[in-house]
Amino acid sequence: MSVDELDTRILRLLLEQPRTSVREYARILGVARGTLQARLDRMERDGVITGTGPSLSPAALGHPVLAFVHIEVTQGHLDDVGDALAAVPEIVEAFSITGGGDLLARVVGRDNAHLEDVIQKLISMPGVVRTRTEVALRERVPYRLLPLVESVGRAARG
């Protein structure tokens, strides 16, 4: 899907002012509400916009410990282990990867002891061969997409 300059302006507003109405976005951008809505609908349909819910903080929910767990899986069990990971609430996301391991999971815990309990649960899953855990000390670059959106916008301008 190609994203043009108006799309990038829309995405920037969505990221900077997520609680603003579609009518207000259209006013700020100087486009018709119908045009804006059609653009939003297309970007949702094309998978550019994947959600509109709030961003939540695991730390504020009582889970301030963050770790990245590399999981090595017995051949042929990747889907089974992936399904099992989805049942663990402390796993906030997981990816199939290349390199040292088969899966990489972002895991949160109430404290280090709780994190260890979660990792022990992972190790005991059928199909898991071993894990390697790296605990995050401090977030240096928060999850962000605005710089990417701006880069795509510059490329669209030409």
**Domain 5-54 CATH class label:** mainly alpha
Domain at 58-136: CATH code: 3.30.70.920
Phi/psi of residue 106, each to 5°? -95, 120
Half-sphere exposure at residue 127, Cβ-oriented, CA atoms within 13 angstroms: 14
Q: Answer whether residue 1 shows pLDDT above 70.
A: no
pLDDT of residue 155: 85
- Do the strands 128-135 and 65-73 form a parallel or antiparallel pair, or are they unpaired? antiparallel
| pLDDT value of position 38 | 96
Quick one: which of 152, 145, 140, 151 has its CA closest to 55?
A: 145
The 10s digit of each residue's pLDDT in 9-65 is 999 999 999 999 999 999 999 999 999 999 999 999 999 999 888 889 999 999 999
Name the token pair of 66.
């963050």
Domain layout of the chain by residue ranges: 5-54, 58-136
Q: Give the separation between CA 21 and CA 116, rounded to whole angstroms.
A: 44
Q: Mean pLDDT of all residues in the chain?
A: 94
